[in-house]
Structure 1
């Protein structure tokens, strides 16, 4: 095995860099690590939303009402092959929300499995536990939190519209990487409605302790949410002007 002069970079990143080589190939140990990481990424794609854990914690610790919903997707294979069907509620879920009496609210949180349920099972609650008290201090009215199986990003817009929420935040599992099978994204939309596309949303990506940690993710969310509410816009029209070191007091 030949050593790599750039191996010191491994102290600063989990990316595959300077892993050495044996002839024209990776050393056996590094090849086995690659295969293990690939298996973890595949497992993340097929992981399932832990609705019992999420619902219990949201209701007992954060005192937030929760609603269980499903997209039009029938199974995981269809979810991967038909992303369009994951963007809309199925008939039962849509009818439930349409027939439910809902007053207007400032914000609706949606938690969906996306491409890594493992990510939201692990990271959604810690972020909400930090964010909700700040919103409550600001007297924001919070709609029931919706837990969605087989959901894509756009499904949050339909849900929030039916719940008459001014802003929606959807926490969703991002496409797993070989060094990040549990990366969570947050997508924020002002005046959500079915049919909106990505330019209408703001995104905070790679939420996890090894990426954008919970404290900073909460700060970024709170900054964008207050900007959305005061300026009445989101997406490409709302630039992230949060300065380095600009934090909200606890």
Structure 2
């Protein structure tokens, strides 16, 4: 048998978007690598400060059959949001009143879509993920009760929203901190029995949702699994291990 051809560090560049084997020019980077770094850094900064397209999100969710409510945190400007993370974890007074007046009875799942640190990610991927999620939950007999689009949102804002509407679980879709290889990464955070004061240890997270990472369909499958198991076991967070991969393998292996 012919021995395999030797591999070089340059081959690794075909397997990862990480910055490896860039070469050098004297004591610095080659011009092409430096320009690529500068461009990716600019894209990450732009993602943080991009406009949150709430109207497009509302229209897209309405096409799926959902009726979203637009709310705001106490972070009035993007500067306030970045300098004061605590303001992004609390609804402003008008939003509190509006949500309380429209809450009605409790629900199994409250869906919150927040801009987070990358509105670009939410604008690009949220509606597609929700479309797959609604379809997946329908097969489980689980409905989404309340849908909120929250501006100036941090993850913990979903706790207050879920508490006000008496949701058994909150699912927060939010733009993740942009990286140099993924300025448009979306994250999904699930919290059982949401209320103000919940910690990150009490949440499950499905992250890295973008074109070069987890697809919307794959992410929706994981989120739907966590919703079903979280509601059934009455837990989320470190007590709930994501074993959706086992279910996916069983689904693939199941004979048609």
Superposition TM-score tier, normalisation by shorter sequence: over 0.9
Deviation at 1:247, TM superposition (A): 5.9
Deviation at 1:142, TM superposition (A): 1.7
1:102 — aligned with what? 104
Structure 2 CA distance, aligned partners of 1:230 and 1:62? Answer: 26
Structure 2 CA distance, aligned partners of 1:6 and 1:168? Answer: 44
1:131 to 130, 133, 136: 133
Instruction: Report the CA distance shift for 1:189/1:166 in structure 2 as closer, same or farther (over 3 A).
Output: same
1:38 — aligned with what? 41
Question: Which deviates the most, 19-28 or 138-147?
Answer: 138-147
* Number of equivalent positions: 244
2:209 — aligned with what? 207
Aligned to 1:224, what secondary structure does the other structure show?
A: helix
Q: Any gaps of 5 or more consecutive residues in structure 2?
A: 1-7
Q: Any gaps of 5 or more consecutive residues in structure 1?
A: none
Deviation at 1:38, TM superposition (A): 0.5
1:53 — aligned with what? 56
1:183 to 185, 200, 203: 185
User: What RMSD, in angstroms, separates the aligned Cα atoms of the two structures?
Assistant: 1.4
Instruction: Report the CA distance shift for 1:248/1:126 in structure 2 as closer, same or farther (over 3 A).
Output: farther
1:167 to 161, 166, 169: 169
Instruction: Report the CA distance shift for 1:82/1:101 in structure 2 as closer, same or farther (over 3 A).
Output: closer
Aligned to 1:218, what secondary structure does the other structure show?
A: helix
1:144 — aligned with what? 146
Deviation at 1:24, TM superposition (A): 1.1
Q: Please give the TM-score of this superposition, normalised by the length of structure 2.
A: 0.91
Aligned to 1:115, what secondary structure does the other structure show?
A: coil
Question: Which deviates the most, 233-242 or 221-230?
Answer: 233-242
**Given the alignment of the two structures, is residue 220 of structure 1 paired with residue 222 of structure 2, yes or no?**
yes
Tell me, yes or no, if the aligned pair for 1:41 and 1:181 is still in contact at 8 Å: yes
Question: Which deviates the most, 208-217 or 197-206?
Answer: 208-217
Tell me, yes or no, if the aligned pair for 1:102 and 1:164 is still in contact at 8 Å: no
2:5 — aligned with what? none
**Given the alignment of the two structures, is residue 20 of structure 1 paired with residue 23 of structure 2, yes or no?**
yes
Structure 2 CA distance, aligned partners of 1:139 and 1:200? Answer: 25
Question: Which deviates the most, 197-206 or 236-245?
Answer: 236-245
Structure 2 CA distance, aligned partners of 1:165 and 1:248? Answer: 30
Q: Please give the TM-score of this superposition, normalised by the length of structure 1.
A: 0.93
Aligned to 2:82, what secondary structure does the other structure show?
A: helix
Aligned to 1:89, what secondary structure does the other structure show?
A: coil
Structure 1 CA distance, aligned partners of 2:56 and 2:103? Answer: 26
Alignment of 1:52-71 (within 5 A): 52-59=55-62, 61-71=63-73
Structure 2 CA distance, aligned partners of 1:247 and 1:170? Answer: 28
Q: For each residue in 1:98-157, what CA deviation from the matched residue of structure 2 results, as whole angstroms up to 9, or x when unmatched?
A: 222411211011110100000011111111111102222333232231001110000011
